[in-house]
C-alpha cells in the first residue's frame, strides 16, 4: 500500500487531477457497460402494487348482483367484488370459464359446472375458511327462480331450468329446450348462502348490511364505502385467488360524483374516468395526461313503430319514413360514428336496403294512404278533366260563374243519344242548329240555380245524363262560382293544370312541383312550406314520438326526426315526459305511435327478447296485466320471424343459425317495424401512468375490468431465459 501512496504523493497536483478524471471515466464506462448488459439481457415486466382511483358520475345503490340491472356505477363495483361460474372475455368476445369448469351436452340442454380448487369467499380467515360450494351455487340460482324473488326480470332467465346439485362442488343445469345463449346467464355473480340465513326470499333486496358491505368471491374484496365532501368513495383490496388469473393492482378506489364538474375538480387525484363526456365539437373533455379510449357496446338506438296503432300499420308509410330519415345528419349532430341498419348485430352488417333518399321516400309515400294535399286536389281535378273530355256530356270549361237565378244551358249532338234522355233529372229537348252550309239536330237542357230540380249549386257539381230507365249514360263535373275573384282564382288554377298536362307531367308529384294555396294549385316557390299529408278522409298525418328525458341527446335526435319528416309532409309531435317514471309508464303501456329508445344485446347478441311475438305487451288495456319483460317495443308479430328467432336460439348448427340470421335480417328489412339509427360511442379515460389497458370487445361498460389482470402501474426487470449476471463475461467479447 505504501508504494501506491508514495507514487500518488510524488505526483503533481495536475497529475493527480488527470488520474482522478481517468479513474472516474473508467468507472463510468464500467457502469455503462453493466447497464447496457442489463438492458440487453433483461425484459421489463409488470409487477404487483399500486392503487387505481377511478371517477364516475352517478349514485351508489345496493352492491348486490341480483339488483344492479339498471345501475352502471354499481355494476362496476359488483363486477370486481363478485365472480360467476363463467365470465365474458372481451379479448375473444366469448363466454369462458371463471370459478368453474363447464361441460355442455351435445344437444345444448345440459350444462354441468364444477367449481375449481381453492375458491373462497372474502370473509374467509385462516382459522375459519369459507369456501365457495355447490350449496352457494344452488342458493344463488334457485332463489332467483322462486316466485317471491324481488327481481322478476332476472327470474325470466331461469324459467323452466332444472338445477341439480351433483356433489359439493358440482351443479347441473337442465333446460327444457336447447338455448345457445344460456351460458351468458351463468356469468351472474355468485352470492354466499350464509349471508342470507334467516331472511325470506321476498326480503332479499332489504338486506342492507350485505348490500353495503358485500361479500363475494371476485378478484377484489370490499373494504369500505365512505362519504366525502365531494363524492362517495368505495375502496376495494386485491383478494388472493391462487387458482385464477391474478390481478396486479393492490387497490381499486371508486369515487362517485354528483356531476362531471365535481369530478373535474378532483381530477388531479384520479387515475381514470369512467364515462367521459364530449364537448360541442365531439372532443372528449379530459385534461392533459389522460388518454381517451373510445369504445362501443352491442347497442342500438332506433325508432320503434307501435304496430298496434292503425296510423303506422301502413307498410308503405313506414318504408317512406325509413327513406326520409337522414342518419348521417343525425350522427353528425351527435358526433357519433356508428350508423346501425339492423338489430342483428351478430351478422356482418353489410348494406341496408334503404338509404336516405327523399325522392324515393316520396315514391313510397305515394303508395301509402297518405298524400300531399296538392296531389289529392290535382288528382281530383285531372279525374274531373278526363271525365269531361269523354262521352256525350262534355264541358270545355269546368268553371262557370252563375249568379242565383241564372240558367246553365247544356247542349250536344244527338248522334249517339237515344231519347227520352235527362240531365240531372231535367228532360232534354231537341232542336235544329244551322251552321254555314249544314244543319245539325242537337239536344238541349237548361239547369237552374235557385234550388229547383237539377239545380247547379255553388261549388263542384256532378252532372249526370240518364236514359228513360234511369241508367247513367255519362257524367261530368262543373264548378259554379258567384264572385269574380273566386272565378279568377279557379281559372288561373285551371290554366296551371293545362300547362302542367301539356308539359308531360304526371300525378306522381314531388313537393317541388306544385303548391296548394287557399285551396288552389299554383307553381311552387322555394319559399313555400311543405303541407301535411292527408288520407282519403282528409285527416292529417300526425305522429306522436315518445322519448326518454335521459340521455339528453334523445331530444336532439327526436327534433332532427321531426325536421326531416316535415320535409316529406309528416307532422311529428315530440313528447318528452318530465321524469323517468312517467316515461317508463308510457313505454310500458305502449302510449306512443313511435318510440325513440335504445336496446342492448349484451354479450350473447340475442335478439329474441326484442322481436319475438311472445314478448309483445298485453293488449287488453288492463294495467294489472302489463308485463315488465315485454321488450318487443314495436309490437312486431310475424310467424316467420318467430320461427327464425327460435332457430337462432336453439339450433346448435352454426350454418343453420347463420342462414336463419340472414333470412331474419331480410324479413325485418321488408317489414320495417323500426328504423335503426346508430350505436352510441363511449369514451373511457385513464392516466398515462396506468399501463396495459386494452378494452377489447365490451358488452357492458363494466367489462373493461375483465382485462384488469393486464393493468399495471409498477414494473421490474428480469433476466431473459438462460441469462444471469455471470453472462456478462461471455457478453463482453461480443462488443469487440
The string of pLDDT tens digits covering residues 436-464 is 878 888 889 999 998 888 899 999 999 99
Per-residue pLDDT of 73-112, as tens digits, reads: 889 999 999 999 999 999 999 999 999 999 999 888 999 9
* Whether 638 and 542 share a structural domain: yes
* Whether 496 and 544 share a structural domain: no
Lookup: cell for 241: 385467488
Q: How confident is the model at residue 506 (pLDDT cuts 50, 70, 90)?
A: low
Distance CA 312, CA 266 (A): 50
* Whether 603 and 462 share a structural domain: no
Does 703 score more than 90 pLDDT? yes
Which has the minimum average pLDDT: 130-139, 374-383, 585-594? 374-383
Distance CA 53, CA 295 (A): 20
Helix (H) / strand (E) element for 719: namely strand 714-719
Report the pLDDT averaged over residues 622-629.
89
Helix (H, G, I), strand (E, B) or coil at 690: coil
Distance CA 629, CA 587 (A): 12
Q: How far is CA 486 from CA 402, 447, 490, 499, 524, in A?
A: 12, 21, 6, 20, 20
Residue 259 has what pLDDT?
Answer: 92
* Whether 468 and 606 share a structural domain: no
Q: Is residue 693 part of a domain?
A: no
* Whether 546 and 651 share a structural domain: yes
Q: How many domains does the chain have?
A: 4
Q: Is residue 278 part of a domain?
A: no
Q: Is residue 575 part of a domain?
A: yes
Q: What angle do CA 117, 119, 120 make, to 5 degrees?
A: 145
CATH classification of the domain holding 244 = 3.40.190.10
Residue 588 has what pLDDT?
Answer: 95
Q: How confident is the model at residue 350 (pLDDT cuts 50, 70, 90)?
A: low
E strands, 482-589, where?
A: 514-517, 520-523, 542-547, 571-575
* Whether 324 and 241 share a structural domain: no
* DSSP for residue 436: T
Residue 507 has what pLDDT?
Answer: 53
Number of H helices, E strands in the chain: 18, 31
| pTM score, whole prediction | 0.84
Considering only residues 238 and 511, tell me which one the structure prediction assigns the higher pLDDT.
Answer: 238
* Whether 640 and 726 share a structural domain: no
- Give strand pairing partners of 51: 251
Does 10 score more than 80 pLDDT? no
Residue 22 has what pLDDT?
Answer: 86
Q: How confident is the model at residue 354 (pLDDT cuts 50, 70, 90)?
A: low
Q: How confident is the model at residue 403 (pLDDT cuts 50, 70, 90)?
A: very high
Domain stop point among 470, 488, 523: 523
Per-residue pLDDT of 627-642, as tens digits, reads: 988 999 999 999 999 9
Domain stop point among 478, 498, 523: 523
Report the pLDDT averaged over residues 693-719.
91
Distance CA 473, CA 443 (A): 14
* Whether 616 and 638 share a structural domain: yes
Lookup: cell for 333: 349532430
Per-residue pLDDT of 177-221, as tens digits, reads: 999 999 999 999 999 999 999 999 999 999 989 999 999 999 999
Residue 41 has what pLDDT?
Answer: 83
Does 353 score more than 70 pLDDT? no
Does 352 score more than 60 pLDDT? no
| Share of residues in the chain with pLDDT > 70 (%) | 97
Lookup: cell for 342: 339492423
* Whether 317 and 415 share a structural domain: no
* DSSP for residue 341: -
Lookup: cell for 607: 335478439
> Cα torsion for 544, 545, 547, 549, to the nearest 10°?
-70
Q: How far separated are the first and last CA of the chain, in Å rounded?
A: 34
Q: How confident is the model at residue 413 (pLDDT cuts 50, 70, 90)?
A: confident
Tell me how crowded residue 416 is: count the other CB atoms within 10 A of its CB.
10
Q: What is the mean pLDDT of the chain?
A: 90
Residue 310 has what pLDDT?
Answer: 94
Contacts 24+ apart (CB under 8 A), 717-723: 717/38, 717/42, 717/43, 717/44, 717/45, 718/42, 718/43, 718/45, 719/41, 719/42, 720/41, 720/42, 720/43, 723/41, 723/42
* Whether 265 and 136 share a structural domain: yes
* Whether 183 and 84 share a structural domain: yes
* Whether 260 and 303 share a structural domain: no
Residue 405's Cβ-count burial label (10 Å; 0-12, 13-18, 19+) is: exposed
Which has the minimum average pLDDT: 206-220, 410-424, 593-607? 410-424
DSSP 205-248: GG-HHHHTS----SSEEEEEEEE-SS-EEEEEEE---TTSPPP-
Q: Is residue 690 part of a domain?
A: no
Domain that holds residue 479: 373-523
Does 505 score more than 60 pLDDT? no
Considering only residues 355 and 430, tell me which one the structure prediction assigns the higher pLDDT.
Answer: 430
- Give strand pairing partners of 444: 411, 429
Residue 12 has what pLDDT?
Answer: 79
Over 88-141, what HEC string results? Answer: EECCCCEEEECCEEEEECCCCCEEEEEECCCCECCCCECCECCECCHHHHHHHH
Residue 736 has what pLDDT?
Answer: 66
Considering only residues 348 and 595, tell me which one the structure prediction assigns the higher pLDDT.
Answer: 595
Per-residue pLDDT of 32-60, as tens digits, reads: 888 887 777 878 788 999 999 999 999 99
Q: How confident is the model at residue 671 (pLDDT cuts 50, 70, 90)?
A: very high
Per-residue pLDDT of 279-292, as tens digits, reads: 888 899 998 889 99
Q: Is residue 313 part of a domain?
A: yes
Amino acid at each position: 500500500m505504501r508504494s501506491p501512496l508514495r507514487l500518488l504523493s510524488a505526483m503533481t497536483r495536475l497529475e493527480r487531477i488527470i488520474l482522478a478524471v481517468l479513474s472516474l471515466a473508467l468507472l463510468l464506462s464500467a457502469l455503462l457497460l453493466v447497464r447496457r448488459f442489463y438492458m440487453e439481457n433483461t425484459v421489463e415486466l409488470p409487477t404487483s402494487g399500486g392503487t387505481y382511483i377511478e371517477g364516475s358520475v352517478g349514485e351508489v345503490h345496493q352492491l348486490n348482483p341480483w339488483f344492479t340491472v339498471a345501475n352502471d356505477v354499481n355494476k362496476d363495483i359488483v363486477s370486481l367484488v363478485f365472480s360467476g361460474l363463467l365470465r365474458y372475455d372481451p379479448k375473444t368476445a366469448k363466454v369462458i370459464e371463471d370459478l368453474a369448469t363447464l361441460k355442455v351436452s351435445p344437444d345444448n340442454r345440459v350444462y354441468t359446472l364444477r367449481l375449481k380448487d381453492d375458491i373462497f369467499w372474502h370473509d374467509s380467515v385462516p382459522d375459519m375458511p369459507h369456501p365457495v360450494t355447490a350449496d352457494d351455487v344452488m342458493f344463488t340460482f334457485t332463489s332467483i327462480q322462486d316466485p317471491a324473488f324481488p327481481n322478476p326480470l332476472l327470474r325470466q332467465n331461469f324459467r323452466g331450468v332444472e338445477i341439480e346439485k351433483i356433489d359439493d362442488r358440482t351443479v347441473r343445469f337442465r333446460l327444457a329446450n336447447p338455448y345457445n345463449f344460456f351460458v351468458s346467464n351463468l356469468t351472474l355473480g355468485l352470492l354466499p348462502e350464509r349471508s342470507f340465513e334467516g331472511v325470506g326470499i321476498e326480503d332479499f333486496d332489504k338486506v342492507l348490511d350485505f348490500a353495503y358491505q358485500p361479500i363475494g368471491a371476485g378478484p377484489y374484496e370490499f373494504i369500505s364505502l365512505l362519504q366525502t365532501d365531494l363524492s362517495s368513495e368505495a375502496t376495494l383490496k386485491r383478494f388472493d385467488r391462487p387458482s385464477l388469473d391474478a390481478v396486479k393492482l393492490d387497490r381499486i378506489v371508486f369515487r362517485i360524483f354528483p356531476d362531471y364538474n365535481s369530478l373535474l375538480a378532483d381530477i388531479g387525484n384520479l387515475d381514470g374516468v369512467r364515462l367521459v363526456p364530449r364537448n360541442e365539437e365531439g372532443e372528449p373533455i379530459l385534461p392533459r395526461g389522460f388518454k381517451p379510449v373510445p369504445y362501443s357496446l352491442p347497442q342500438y338506438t332506433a325508432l320503434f313503430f307501435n304496430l298496434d296503432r292503425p296510423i303506422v300499420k301502413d307498410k308503405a308509410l313506414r318504408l317512406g319514413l325509413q327513406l326520409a330519415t337522414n342518419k348521417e345528419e343525425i350522427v353528425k349532430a351527435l358526433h357519433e360514428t356508428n350508423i346501425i341498419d339492423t338489430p342483428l348485430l351478430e351478422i356482418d352488417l353489410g348494406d341496408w336496403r334503404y338509404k336516405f333518399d327523399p325522392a324515393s321516400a316520396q315514391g313510397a309515400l305515394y303508395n301509402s294512404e297518405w298524400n300531399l294535399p296538392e296531389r289529392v286536389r290535382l288528382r281530383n281535378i285531372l279525374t274531373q278533366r278526363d271525365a269531361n273530355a269523354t262521352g256525350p256530356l262534355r264541358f270545355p270549361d269546368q268553371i262557370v260563374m252563375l249568379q242565383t237565378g241564372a240558367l246553365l244551358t247544356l247542349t250536344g249532338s244527338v248522334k249517339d243519344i237515344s231519347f227520352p234522355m235527362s240531365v240531372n233529372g231535367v228532360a232534354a229537348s231537341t232542336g235544329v242548329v244551322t251552321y254555314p252550309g249544314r244543319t245539325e239536330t242537337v239536344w238541349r237542357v237548361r239547369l237552374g240555380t235557385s234550388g229547383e230540380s237539377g239545380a247547379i249549386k255553388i261549388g263542384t257539381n256532378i252532372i249526370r245524363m240518364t236514359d228513360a230507365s234511369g241508367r247513367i249514360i255519362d257524367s261530368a263535373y262543373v264548378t259554379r262560382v258567384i264572385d269574380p275573384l273566386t272565378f279568377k282564382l279557379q281559372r288561373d288554377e285551371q290554366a296551371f293544370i293545362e300547362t302542367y298536362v301539356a308539359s308531360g307531367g304526371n300525378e306522381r308529384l314531388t313537393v317541388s312541383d306544385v303548391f296548394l294555396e287557399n285551396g288552389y294549385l299554383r307553381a311552387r316557390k322555394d319559399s313555400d312550406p311543405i303541407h301535411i299529408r292527408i288520407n282519403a278522409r282528409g285527416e292529417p298525418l300526425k305522429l306522436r314520438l315518445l322519448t326518454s328525458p335521459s340521455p339528453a341527446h334523445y331530444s336532439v335526435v327526436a327534433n332532427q326526426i321531426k325536421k326531416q319528416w316535415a320535409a316529406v309532409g309528416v307532422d311529428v309531435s315530440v313528447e318528452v315526459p318530465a321524469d323517468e317514471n312517467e316515461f317508463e309508464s308510457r313505454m310500458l303501456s305502449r302510449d306512443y305511435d313511435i318510440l325513440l329508445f335504445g336496446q342492448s344485446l349484451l354479450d350473447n347478441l340475442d335478439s329474441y327478447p326484442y322481436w319475438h311475438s311472445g314478448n309483445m305487451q298485453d293488449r287488453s288495456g288492463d294495467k294489472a296485466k302489463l308485463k315488465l319483460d315485454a321488450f318487443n317495443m314495436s309490437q312486431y308479430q310475424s310467424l316467420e320471424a318467430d320461427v327464425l328467432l327460435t332457430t337462432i336460439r336453439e339450433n346448435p348448427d352454426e350454418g343453420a343459425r347463420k342462414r336463419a340470421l340472414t333470412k331474419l335480417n331480410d324479413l325485418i328489412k321488408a317489414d320495417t317495424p323500426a328504423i335503426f339509427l346508430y350505436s352510441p360511442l363511449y369514451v373511457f379515460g385513464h392516466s398515462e401512468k396506468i399501463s396495459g389497458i386494452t378494452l377489447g370487445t365490451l358488452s357492458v361498460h363494466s367489462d373493461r375490468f375483465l382485462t384488469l389482470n393486464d393493468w399495471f402501474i409498477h414494473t421490474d426487470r428480469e433476466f431473459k431465459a438462460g441469462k444471469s449476471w455471470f453472462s456478462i463475461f461471455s457478453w463482453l467479447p461480443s462488443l469487440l
